Each structure stands twice: as structure tokens, then as C-alpha cells.
Amino acid sequence: MSSIKKSCEKNTTGITQMYRLIFNNFLLINNKL
């Protein structure tokens, strides 16, 4: 049970990091335009 919860938390942090990277790239592109 706890291992499943840990993997879910790890997955969520990975997704948020990915979205943060995409968002940062989006801001960089907008600043260049």
C-alpha cells in the first residue's frame, strides 16, 4: 500500500517538473518574439 502511494507521489512530482519545463520554454519563446 505505502509503496503504491510513494510511486504515485514520485509520478506526480515528475509530471509537475515536466510541466514546469514546458512552461519555462513557453515563457522564453514569448520573450524572444
Task: From residue 33, give the alpha-carbon distance in Å to each of 12, 16, 20, 22, 26.
Answer: 32, 26, 20, 17, 11
The larger pLDDT score, comparing residue 27 to residue 1, is at 27
2, 26, 23, 30: which is closest to 10 by C-alpha? Answer: 2
- Under the banding of pLDDT at 50, 70 and 90, the label for residue 1 is low
Q: DSSP secondary-structure letter at 28?
A: H
CA dihedral 10, 11, 12, 13 (to 10 degrees): 50
How does pLDDT run across 15-28, given as a tens digit for each residue?
Answer: 999 999 999 999 99
pTM, to two decimals = 0.55
